[in-house]
Structure 1
């Protein structure tokens, strides 16, 4: 019997989501989850997290020092600010990954 050495990307994505958005941290998991959802095009959240999460979701390279500084002040520590930035990046990344998987599956079914 042959076994696959390919990683289970669905399981890896779920592990990432759980650790970043639901795991222990300095910030409330609910705030991290709202931040991730906002970066993935979800509803607005409280300031200043909304502006940063929206920008990360649209184009992380457009994030400004002022946006990060505002989150740092509101979060009250570098670790908390980092957690929220990581949550936004994770939300945006998982959305893009899900879209890519869907496109690949549609292409596979179309060619079958």
Structure 2
């Protein structure tokens, strides 16, 4: 299903499956809220919502997120599961941005070598 050949994994297909599952799949939070969190974490101009500030911080410097911010997210989201979905979506958005940047650099380097 996710294989290019018998020996080579199709990472693009795996990333797309993960993106769909986290951002579009069923959840306690709406797909739109998860997508907005992912976009905010990736630095994409998104609609300002109640999760945007924390999502942006996750994208810029996740190690600086405090226990108090997570507790506020749980309270604001209404449950630990909903808060986890938003935080995971933000982390995915930031990770996808970095992955795409790395893939582009590798492709550009390959083009330069030709």
Unmatched segments (≥5 aa) in structure 2: none
Q: Tell me what 1:23 maps to.
A: 25
Q: Tell whether 2:70 aligns with 1:68.
A: yes
TM-score (norm 1): 0.92
Pick aligned residue for 2:44 from 42, 46, 56: 42
Count of matched residue positions in the alignment of Structure 1 and Structure 2: 109
Q: After the TM superposition, which segments of 4 or more aligned residues of structure 1 sit over 4 Å from their partners?
A: none
Q: Tell whether 2:87 aligns with 1:101.
A: no
Cα shift readout 1:9-60 (whole Å, capped 9, x = no counterpart): 000010010000000000000000000000000225212x122101110011
CA distance in 1, matches of 2:23, 2:44: 15
TM-score (norm 2): 0.91
Q: Tell me what 1:111 maps to.
A: 113
Unmatched segments (≥5 aa) in structure 1: none
Q: Tell me what 2:11 maps to.
A: 9
